[in-house]
Structure 1
Amino acid sequence: MDPSLSNLLYDDPALYEAVYPTSEKEIPAMAERLFAEHSRAGVRTLLDFGCGTGRHVEYFTGAGMDCVGVDYQDAMVSFARLQRPGHDFRVGDMRTVRLGRTFDAVTCLGWAISNIHANEDLARVVATFAAHSAPGTLLFLHVPNAIAGPEGHGLQRHFTIDTPGFTATAEATYTLEHRTQLLTRERVWHIAGRPPHRDHVRFRLLFPMELELLLAGGGFTVLGMYDNTAARPGDPTGPALYVLARFDGARTDRGSTAPR
């Protein structure tokens, strides 16, 4: 994980909730449709990595799945537990966490895997996915598309927060470090009554074939790769990739830790 990561919305989970009241449903709805189409015996259990405030866990639970959510950030998990009691949320690092069980489906949405930068760490994440998979387990990923905009072209540059208790605007700039495929986004927030607030995050970009090779190394076969939530086939040139894969190989284990 990037120790210098800072994000205005991550720092204030309640604000995150206010800013994104409905937009978290479209992508899990896509995953649900693909699960129904490709699951051999139905998806009854699901593990969500990078669960944040628990929106996706809540959605999938409402769809009849028994879910566990894992996130690296204590504040997000604490807020999720408070906001959505009765759901199972854990603090854990997706490179090392082990729950000691397998699931029918694993998800990693919101570009969460892009916060993992090194090749070895990405392989450890895929090993974590595999450690929680049995033959036939489905994996759904949401990642930035390196082909679409390696320099940040097509990505959001103007941000506005307008809630009853909080307003802010920001402009974003993107810088690509070509050797490491790290795309840095810097935003300067302008908030009434406060000095400008700067946040930044770095996304590891993965090209489609690179991602497919990474997953294959962990025993996963890609079933579909799309640049739209309708799962329309075609050349994936949009800013995000939605990837469905199935676990077919032996599980690997590159280290484990117990979540909290």
Structure 2
Amino acid sequence: MGQENLDLPSPIVRVRSTAGEVAAEFFGTAVLILFGVGVVAQVVAGGIGDHDSIAWAWGLGVMLGIYVAGRISGAHLNPAVTVALALFQGFPWRKVAPYICAQTAGAFIAALVVRWNYSEVLAKFDPGHTIASQGVFSTLPGNGTAPVTDLGALRDQIIGTAILVLLVFAITDARNSAPLANLTPFVVGLLVVAIGMAWGTNAGYAINPARDFGPRLASFITGYGGAWRDQYGDLYFWVPILGPLIGGVLGGALYKYCVARFLPPEDQPPTNN
């Protein structure tokens, strides 16, 4: 047996490593949803806080979720990010489905916790569990009030997620002006706050299929019979799934082919010439 064989990890080690990464994605996404969906429940049903509360809590949730999962799995916390990383950053395709399943499961379980904890407040605010409080768990075109069509919301999700992925790639690229490793979660959290403040009107800035589908499913099985539809009665659940996936690919491609190709090698300092 050659030395190279002695250095290879055993299949058992690989399984444990992948299991740890999947667990990290589950818990990191769950933390994100506990703060994100939790703050929307507090604002909408409890009447405490406002839009800025929502934007900041979502951003802080992203930051804290990254701190939970970052060292183990890279803290994708978002299927659109995972797919973009596989396409443009060499992330193994064999891990894409497990990561996405873990992200969606984490979002689902966390949303169930929020649904349980706020059950009395939600029942008082909206006894019929109608679209009036559906937005606590999942997004709607125009946030349920503005005159935005499903196609308008799809456009919005493509653009918003393209911005997210392009900037996540820029922030985490060691060849670029990346923040110190321990500050990366903070900066990415600020990015989500900025997207929420600038791109939240048309579709509620889901920009993450797991963030929307997991809580939407949780609300459906706990009494929200119209969870899959929008305020117009049309099937809507596909918009915050397809839009972010398209936008993530677009954002990743823009960064790789329009920015990263012009960056110097990692060991070469940038010049001002």
| TM value normalised by structure 2 | 0.27
* Greater relative CO (CA pairs within 8 A, separation 6+): 2
Flag the structure with higher helix content: 2
> Which has the greater radius of gyration?
2
Flag the structure with higher strand content: 1
